[in-house]
Chains A and B, each alone.
Chain A
């Protein structure tokens, strides 16, 4: 037993790959079998992750030596590195297809998410620019939040709140989109492009549109893919600085 534990501790990062792989597999199964895709597997995986963090203390599950590799895999270096890599999938020619409505929706979507998220955070006691920006960025997507938070050097618990806000967004988008699609005239490709830009959480947009009308999915995904990148650019810079000067 000791030998096994030793191997896992010594090869922490590799063990972390295994752990996360199992979590992904489990959440895929929960999403498809138990929830009938009502909640995207990505959201479930992150919720499991946040749940596991509960078991530990300041560093979440990485407080246990056995899982210390998770801190390396989930640390800001690899995270930012892999997020930058996603820009590869964003074809600049595609933005032409989205047209003006798509581009405007992207900017308005990031602004409105940040604004609404920021207002709630402010009135619930997060009044300094760094924490406020991080939570507001989390209301954009669960990626923009932690990227912004680590850039601004906020504490781990505030980053956790920002991730949770992004996960809530994904889930709300998934569940509510089919319910209110008619009311917001989300029944054509053009509206789906606008919707993708306004909501931005790719997993939420894709799952929500899939539950509404699968034909709309590629149109929503078209703009949503740009959302996180643009958010990572705007939130820790323009939005943070504006807040800093306002407060």
Chain B
């Protein structure tokens, strides 16, 4: 049943949030410290375990996959309900931070590509690229 998947997701979500909030309390910062991340790790772990045991069938998985497929529309809805009017003064920050981070990442490609490079990592040869 699909609801099993959704219930598993809900369980992991709440437990993850709980962990994040407890961690926040523990270090005396009353915030959620990485709750969503913990929840993701929990879901990865439990679904891996359950699948191995054969307790998680594809039917249950579709319950989770639906929510995973709908996250972009949800982010769009979120974007439409933010206080953009007040944020417009920060437009330059967004532009610089976003562009700067991307360019810095790109610049590191040649350096990090050297890690574990093998001989068969030669360039893919085809002529179709670069024309778009």
Q: Do A and B bind each other?
A: yes
Which of A78-94 touch B at CB < 8 Å?
78-90, 92
Give the complex CA separation of A233 and B23 in angstroms. Answer: 13
User: Interface size bucket, A side?
Assistant: 35 or more
A113 within 8 A of B: yes
CB proximity of A164 to chain B, nearest CB, Å: 4
Q: Are A233 and B38 in contact (CB under 8 A)?
A: yes
Q: Are A100 and B109 in contact (CB under 8 A)?
A: no
- Which of B16, B36, B64 gathers the greatest number of chain A CB atoms within 10 Å? B36
Which residues in A have their C-beta under 8 angstroms from that of B67?
Answer: 81-82, 85
A222 within 8 A of B: no
- Which of A57, A109, A190 gathers the greatest number of chain B CB atoms within 10 Å? A190
CB proximity of B59 to chain A, nearest CB, Å: 14
Known: A84-B9, A101-B113, A212-B130. A116 touches B97 (CB 8 A): yes
Which of B44-82 touch A at CB < 8 Å?
44, 47-48, 61, 64-68, 70-82
Q: Are B95 and A168 in contact (CB under 8 A)?
A: yes
Nearest CB to that of B108 among chain A residues?
A: A198
Which of A30-53 touch B at CB < 8 Å?
36, 42, 45-46, 48-53
Q: Are B93 and A124 in contact (CB under 8 A)?
A: yes
Q: Are B68 and A86 in contact (CB under 8 A)?
A: yes
Q: Are A100 and B80 in contact (CB under 8 A)?
A: no
Q: Are A88 and B47 in contact (CB under 8 A)?
A: yes
Q: Are B102 and A169 in contact (CB under 8 A)?
A: yes
Give the complex CA separation of A189 and B116 in angstroms. Answer: 12
Nearest CB to that of B44 among chain A residues?
A: A87
A216 within 8 A of B: yes
CB proximity of B102 to chain A, nearest CB, Å: 4
Known: A50-B84, A124-B96, A160-B82. A70 touches B77 (CB 8 A): yes
A135 within 8 A of B: yes
Known: A60-B82, A158-B87. A46 touches B76 (CB 8 A): yes
Q: Are B113 and A232 in contact (CB under 8 A)?
A: no
A66 within 8 A of B: no
Which residues in A have their C-beta under 8 angstroms from that of B115?
Answer: 100-101, 104, 194
Give the complex CA separation of A158 and B75 in angstroms. Answer: 15
Q: Are A157 and B86 in contact (CB under 8 A)?
A: yes
**CB within 8 A of B105: which of A53, A109, A124, A215?**
A109
Nearest CB to that of B23 among chain A residues?
A: A237
- Chain A proximity mask over B80-119: 1 for CB below 8 Å, otherwise 0: 1111111100111111111111111111111011011110
A161 within 8 A of B: yes
Q: Are A74 and B87 in contact (CB under 8 A)?
A: no
Q: Are A49 and B79 in contact (CB under 8 A)?
A: yes
**CB within 8 A of B97: which of A67, A79, A165, A229?**
A165
CB proximity of B114 to chain A, nearest CB, Å: 8
Which residues in B have their C-beta under 8 angstroms from that of A143?
Answer: 71, 75
- Which of B81, B83, B128 gathers the greatest number of chain A CB atoms within 10 Å? B81
Enumerate 19 A-B pairs (CB-CB under 8 Å) in ascending A order. Answer: A24-B73, A45-B73, A46-B75, A49-B80, A70-B77, A70-B80, A73-B74, A74-B75, A81-B9, A81-B67, A85-B64, A87-B44, A113-B101, A139-B98, A151-B31, A151-B35, A156-B82, A165-B94, A191-B109
